[in-house]
């Protein structure tokens, strides 16, 4: 399938190579959680709820110096065209949950909550490519909403390389296309460090740098969206509490 | 003061943003240091006390401090202690020294207790005491949970309303609403009686410091630890649910809970049926009918403004601030 028209310089959904899909997000959307976020990136829709830090439910899982992160990733059966039922423990779901856990272990200041645990529940409501990136962005938003101390924002994006040009934020059709390499990176915004990098399919080494460069720029943009959402919700909370 | 101590960010800071480069400051809660610079680890407002810089968030879980009055639910009964879920980072403990054989006679799983924080452990776990006769088991009512930021630490966490309903505000955001009872020691914020029992406050504090085993007089045992509800007449029951719903509304609007805000909300709610209060569409409907002076919208504004002394009269309010969403 032709996913990039060189003639027009447009992708299958009308974007240019360096354009992101529309991001809509909102925090504090679920009542009985400590923090929650709803995140849409194009047609990928995600809901995240955070519980904790609270007493570890299993004694065996609790650590004496650190907080324990528990990530559950759930795919709704109606999330994609193929109505395939996926269990919580299928290989791909476990992989995504582990990636998210490892990503956030870097930034959460866990020493503050020994013997406690933080539960992160991620619900994938609809998928249209870039599931991992959207999950990381949504989780970051929800963790900040929950007031969990972190050293930095973590923003993620995926990128690929099509027809001699790096391409940002692949959707499902682009991801599925056979010869598109697909890189998902998560970036610590302040330091610019990459804390997660996943590559599916292959990419020539000399092409990695330009793709990463583009992806980092994308992350900065995502950070600005997340940051303004957080600031807005905090401001409205402060307004109503001090009015 | 500010001229000598260098630049420092004001207002809202978000996670990872720089607060100050100046090395003279010390990091407080919600901050961390990297390369001698202080950054925010949570989102909130910067507060500064002399050289100590901290960030306070409105969305954090409750973390206890000595002397806090909390309401919690017994989650487990151990051999020598009760574990109380106070909605904090760690469950709290109410220790007992003498009563090991009959632990469940005093508190069982699921009981709602009202206690004071005696000490805080390094991992954030709390130790509670119920040393005053007023502390102990709560019954004859309902419990609801609000955002802990809405309950500020104050002199009195007991509110006695006109309608025969008592509200116990736990600093942890757990609130008990129940039938009126007589508190013998603690200071009650009451409409009926303005006389405060101030001297009891100091005796409480000395109790906290003493750290002896619990001393409760024997005569009141059965009453204090009873978990059978009294007879509650239908009007009190209605009032309890009304106050409960008012508190839920205040929580949704993110308005601080105190005797003024709860009283105002209660009075304004009297024109609606109790179950109506929580319906968004009913509230909106009423809000849309512009000629209705006492609309839900004005209710929201009323609670907001009366509680904080901006305006005190309904007429003024509806005249001046009708267009706000």
For residue B191, being part of any structural domain is answered with yes
> Which residue's entry shows tokens 């870097």?
A106
Task: Determine how β-strand A68-75 pairs with β-strand A116-126.
Answer: parallel
Tokens at B277, concatenated: 């209060």
Q: Are residues B91 and B202 in the same domain?
A: yes
Q: What is the pLDDT of residue B286?
A: 42
**Per residue in A59-93, pLDDT tens?**
787 888 899 999 999 998 888 887 776 676 789 89
Q: Which chain A residue shows the shortest CA-CA distance from B87?
A: A54
Q: Between B114 and B281, where is the model more confident?
A: B114
Tokens at A27, concatenated: 């925090």
Report the distance separating Cα B286 and Cα B281, nearest Å.
8
Its CATH class, for the domain covering A21-242, is alpha beta
**Residues 6+ away with beta carbon under 8 Å from B245:** B269, B274, B275, B277, B278
10 Å CB burial of residue B246 (0-12, 13-18, 19+) is buried
The stretch B9-22 carries a mean pLDDT of: 90
Indicate the pLDDT class of residue B107, thresholds 50, 70 and 90. confident
Q: Are residues B82 and B114 in the same domain?
A: yes
Report the distance separating Cα A234 and Cα B323, nearest Å.
23
Does A1 score more than 70 pLDDT? Answer: no
**Per residue in A172-225, pLDDT tens?**
988 888 778 999 999 999 989 999 999 988 899 999 999 999 999 999 999 999
Q: What is the pLDDT of residue B185?
A: 67
Alpha helices in B99-214 (DSSP H): 103-106, 199-210
Mean pLDDT of chain A: 90
Q: Are residues B220 and B238 in the same domain?
A: no
Q: What is the pLDDT of residue B143?
A: 93
Q: Are residues B298 and B177 in the same domain?
A: no
Task: Determine how β-strand B52-56 pairs with β-strand B26-27.
Answer: parallel
Cβ contact (<8 Å) for A150 and B30? no
Indicate the pLDDT class of residue B190, thresholds 50, 70 and 90. low
Cβ contact (<8 Å) for B12 and A231? yes
The stretch B142-166 carries a mean pLDDT of: 90
Q: Are residues B149 and B194 in the same domain?
A: yes
Buried b (16+ CB within 10 A) or exposed e, B248-274: bbbbebbbbbbbbbbbbbbbbbeebeb
The stretch B11-21 carries a mean pLDDT of: 92
CB A83 within 8 A of CB A77: yes
Q: What is the pLDDT of residue B70?
A: 93
For residue B152, being part of any structural domain is answered with yes
Q: Which chain B residue shows the shortest CA-CA distance from A145?
A: B59
User: Hey, how many other C-beta atoms are within 10 angstroms of the C-beta on B37?
Assistant: 14
Cβ contact (<8 Å) for A240 and B304? yes
Q: Are residues B50 and B19 in the same domain?
A: yes
Determine if residue B157 is left, alpha or beta; phi over 0 gives left, psi from -120 to 50 gives alpha, anything else beta. alpha
DSSP 8-state code for residue A128 = S
Cβ contact (<8 Å) for A189 and B305? no
CA distance B296 to chain A (A): 16
Q: Give A240's contacts in chain B (Cβ within 8 Å).
A: 253-255, 304
Tokens at B191, concatenated: 């409409």
Chain A contacts in chain B segment 155-184 (CB below 8 A): none
Q: Are residues B271 and B247 in the same domain?
A: yes
Nearest to A231 among B14, B57, B255 (CB): B14
Report the distance separating Cα B269 and Cα B130, nearest Å.
34
B319 touches chain A (CB under 8 A): no
A142 touches chain B (CB under 8 A): no
10 Å CB burial of residue A166 (0-12, 13-18, 19+) is buried
**Per residue in B44-64, pLDDT tens?**
999 999 999 999 998 888 988
**Residues 6+ away with beta carbon under 8 Å from B229:** B139, B140
Report the distance separating Cα B202 and Cα B208, nearest Å.
10
> What are the residue ranges spanned by the domains of chain A?
21-242
Does B221 score more than 80 pLDDT? Answer: no
Nearest to A153 among B16, B32, B305 (CB): B16
Nearest to B90 among A116, A153, A241 (CB): A116
Q: By three-state DSSP, how is residue A8 classified?
A: coil
> Which residue's entry shows tokens 């909370």?
A237
Cβ contact (<8 Å) for A149 and B305? no
Q: What is the pLDDT of residue B281?
A: 57
Cβ contact (<8 Å) for A151 and B41? yes
Cβ contact (<8 Å) for A55 and B90? yes
Q: Are residues B87 and B212 in the same domain?
A: yes
Segment among A81-95, B83-97, B187-201 with least mean pLDDT: B187-201
Q: What is the pLDDT of residue B6?
A: 57
Report the distance separating Cα B225 and Cα B107, nearest Å.
7
Nearest to A190 among B16, B89, B256 (CB): B16
**Per residue in A97-144, pLDDT tens?**
999 999 999 899 999 998 899 999 999 999 999 999 999 999 999 999
Q: What is the pLDDT of residue B88?
A: 79
CA distance B252 to chain A (A): 9
Q: Are residues B75 and B207 in the same domain?
A: yes
Report the distance separating Cα B61 and Cα B143, nearest Å.
18
**Per residue in B277-308, pLDDT tens?**
776 655 554 444 333 444 444 555 555 544 44
Does B220 score more than 90 pLDDT? Answer: no
Q: By three-state DSSP, how is residue A6 classified?
A: coil
Single out the residue in B178, B194, B224 at which a domain terminates.
Answer: B224
Single out the residue in B168, B194, B224 at which a domain terminates.
Answer: B224
Q: What is the pLDDT of residue B122?
A: 83
Full domain range(s) for residue B239:
234-320
Instruction: Spell out the SS3 assignment of A152-165.
Output: CCEEEEEEEEECCE
For residue B203, being part of any structural domain is answered with yes
Report the distance separating Cα B87 and Cα B172, nearest Å.
7
For residue B62, being part of any structural domain is answered with no
Q: Are residues B127 and B49 in the same domain?
A: no
Q: Are residues B192 and B289 in the same domain?
A: no
Q: Give A29's contacts in chain B (Cβ within 8 Å).
A: none
Report the distance separating Cα B26 and Cα B7, nearest Å.
14
CA distance B95 to chain A (A): 18
B123 touches chain A (CB under 8 A): yes
Q: Are residues B40 and B120 in the same domain?
A: no
Q: By three-state DSSP, how is residue A7 classified?
A: coil
- Sheet containing strand A182-188, edge to edge, reads A165-168, A154-162, A182-188, A194-200
Tokens at A124, concatenated: 């994938």
For residue B229, being part of any structural domain is answered with no
Q: Which long-range contacts (CB under 8 A, 24 or more apart) does B189-193 make?
A: B189/B156, B189/B158, B189/B159, B189/B160, B189/B258, B189/B259, B190/B159, B190/B160, B191/B160, B191/B161, B191/B162, B191/B259, B191/B263, B192/B160, B192/B162, B193/B160
**Per residue in B232-287, pLDDT tens?**
888 999 999 889 888 887 887 787 888 888 887 788 778 777 777 776 655 554 44
CB B149 within 8 A of CB B253: no
10 Å CB burial of residue B142 (0-12, 13-18, 19+) is middle
> How many structural domains does chain B have?
3
Nearest to A109 among B41, B256, B310 (CB): B41
Q: What is the pLDDT of residue B324?
A: 34
Report the distance separating Cα B134 and Cα B141, nearest Å.
16
* CATH number of the structural domain spanning residue B175: 2.40.50.140
Q: Which chain A residue shows the shortest CA-CA distance from B15?
A: A152
Provide the whole-model pTM: 0.83
Report the distance separating Cα A120 and Cα A243, nearest Å.
33
Does A152 score more than 50 pLDDT? Answer: yes
CB A183 within 8 A of CB A160: yes
Q: What is the pLDDT of residue B303?
A: 53
CA distance B281 to chain A (A): 18
Cβ contact (<8 Å) for A237 and B58? yes
For residue B160, being part of any structural domain is answered with yes
Report the distance separating Cα A134 and Cα A157, nearest Å.
8
């Amino acid at each position: 399938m032709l996913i990039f028209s060189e003639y027009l310089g447009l992708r299958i959904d009308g974007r240019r190579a360096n354009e992101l899909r529309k991001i809509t997000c909102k925090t504090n959307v679920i009542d009985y959680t400590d923090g929650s976020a709803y995140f849409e990136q194009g047609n990928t829709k995600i809901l995240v709820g955070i519980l904790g830090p609270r007493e570890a439910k299993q004694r065996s899982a609790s650590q004496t110096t650190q907080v324990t992160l528990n990530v559950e990733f759930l795919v709704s059966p109606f999330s994609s065209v193929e109505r395939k039922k996926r269990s919580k423990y299928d290989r791909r779901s476990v992989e995504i949950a582990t990636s998210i856990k490892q990503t956030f272990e870097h930034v959460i200041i866990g020493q503050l909550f020994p013997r406690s645990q933080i539960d992160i529940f991620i619900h994938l409501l609809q998928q249209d490519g870039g599931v991992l990136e959207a999950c990381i962005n949504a989780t970051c938003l929800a963790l900040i909403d929950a007031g969990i101390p972190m050293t930095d924002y973590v923003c993620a994006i995926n990128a690929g390389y099509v027809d001699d040009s790096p391409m940002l934020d692949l959707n499902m059709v682009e991801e599925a296309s056979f010869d598109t390499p697909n890189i998902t990176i998560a970036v610590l915004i302040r330091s610019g460090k990459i804390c997660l990098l996943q590559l599916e399919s292959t990419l020539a080494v000399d092409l990695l740098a330009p793709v990463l460069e583009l992806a980092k720029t994308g992350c900065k943009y995502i950070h600005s969206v997340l940051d303004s959402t957080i600031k807005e919700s905090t401001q409205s909370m402060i307004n109503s509490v001090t009015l | 003061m500010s001229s000598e101590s260098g630049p420092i960010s004001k207002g809202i800071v978000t996670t990872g943003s720089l607060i100050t480069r100046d090395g003279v400051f010390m990091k407080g809660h919600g901050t961390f240091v990297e390369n001698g610079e202080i950054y925010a680890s949570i989102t909130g407002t910067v507060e500064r006390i002399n050289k100590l810089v901290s960030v306070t968030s409105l969305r954090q879980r409750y973390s206890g401090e000595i002397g806090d009055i909390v309401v919690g639910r017994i989650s487990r009964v151990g051999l020598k202690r009760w574990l109380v879920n106070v909605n904090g980072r760690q469950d709290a403990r109410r220790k007992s020294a003498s009563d090991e054989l009959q632990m469940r006679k005093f508190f069982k799983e699921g009981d709602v207790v009202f206690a004071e924080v005696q000490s805080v452990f390094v991992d954030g776990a709390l130790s509670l005491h119920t040393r005053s006769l007023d502390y102990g088991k709560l019954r004859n009512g309902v419990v609801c949970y609000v955002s802990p930021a809405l309950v500020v630490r104050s002199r009195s966490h007991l509110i006695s309303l006109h309608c025969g309903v008592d509200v116990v505000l736990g600093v942890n955001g757990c609130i008990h609403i129940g039938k009126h009872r007589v508190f013998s020691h603690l200071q009650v914020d009451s409409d009926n009686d303005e006389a405060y029992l101030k001297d009891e406050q100091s005796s409480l504090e000395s109790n906290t410091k003493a750290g002896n085993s619990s001393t409760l007089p024997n005569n009141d045992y059965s009453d204090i630890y009873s978990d059978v509800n009294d007879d509650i007449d239908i009007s009190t029951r209605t009032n309890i649910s009304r106050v409960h719903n008012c508190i839920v509304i205040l929580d949704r609007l993110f308005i601080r809970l105190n005797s003024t805000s709860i009283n105002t909300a209660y009075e304004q709610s009297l024109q609606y049926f109790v179950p109506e209060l929580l319906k968004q569409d009913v509230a909106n409907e009423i809000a849309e009918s512009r000629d209705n002076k006492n609309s839900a919208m004005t209710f929201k504004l009323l609670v907001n403004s009366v509680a904080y002394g901006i305006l005190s009269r309904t007429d003024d309010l509806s005249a001046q601030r009708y267009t706000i969403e």
